[in-house]
Amino acid sequence: MHTLLDKGYPALAGLGEGEFAKLLAPLRDVAVERAGETGKAAGARGAAGPEPGRAPFLLVVTRALVPVEGMVGLTRLERGTKPGIIDRHYEPGAIERFVPIEGAEPPDERVYLVFDADRGEEFCGAVPDDAMATLAARGRTLLTMEEGLAFVTQQPAALAKNRCFSLGASRSGDRRVPAVWISQRAPKLGWCWAGNPHTWLGVASASERVAA
């Protein structure tokens, strides 16, 4: 919560800090309870313990409250100062057309939690379509644009050289898959083709989405 307050989310949402904090407050108890359960599950699959590419939970603010373009501008690399940027290959109005796929819809229209987020570096070099099928078979859900930006905002170390990730739960009806990577020493929101593998691009996922 404090990270979002410090980053300037209340102003972009058109809310005072107190009002924004009140909006997020009901998620606190849910996060504490569910993160413990998710941590046990992660341990069972051999992924317990703090890792740069994983987060026990993320507070997600949707575009209904803060525009995606604003979220991008509030991201930074770990120990970086340059604000995030949007790739020029997004034509005007394109970002608005990237919406959650079936099964990845936000459980709350404004704020919610994502648990056991993973940047999916095991899929670096894999064909995105194949990686997404593997994650679906594991019962994991891909991350949306907003969830991926929450990941970078709240855990900047998740985005690192040769350890970037796609956000396959936001699609626009074509073969483009949004992704976040590093460009000009800053986070960049771009996209790649679903059939094109990249050695530096994994596929981010999570275990579940939960509202207060």
In whole angstroms, what is the distance from residue 123 CA to residue 23 CA? 35
Under 8 Å CB-to-CB from 198, ≥6 apart: which residues?
Answer: 124, 125, 192
Domain count, the chain: 1
pLDDT digits (tens, 9 = 90+) for 138-153: 999 999 999 999 999 9
pLDDT at 29: 84
3-state secondary structure of 12: helix
Say what the pLDDT of residue 37 is. Answer: 65
Asked if the model's pLDDT at residue 79 lies above 80, the reply is yes
pLDDT value at 86 more than 80: yes
Instruction: Dump pLDDT digits (tens) for 27-74.
Output: 988 888 876 665 555 555 454 456 889 999 999 999 999 999 999 999
Judged against a pLDDT cut of 60, whether residue 107 lies above it is answered with: yes
Say what the pLDDT of residue 9 is.
Answer: 96
Mean pLDDT of 1-14: 91
Annotate 129-159 with three-state secondary structure.
Answer: HHHHHHHHHCCCEECCHHHHHHHHHHCHHHC
- For the segment 13-21, the average pLDDT, to the nearest whole number, is 95
Q: Compare 28 and 77 and report the one with higher pLDDT.
A: 77
pTM comes to 0.92
The 10s digit of each residue's pLDDT in 163-187 is 999 999 999 999 999 999 999 999 9
Q: Domain range for residue 156?
A: 2-210
Alpha carbons 177 and 119: distance in angstroms, whole number: 15
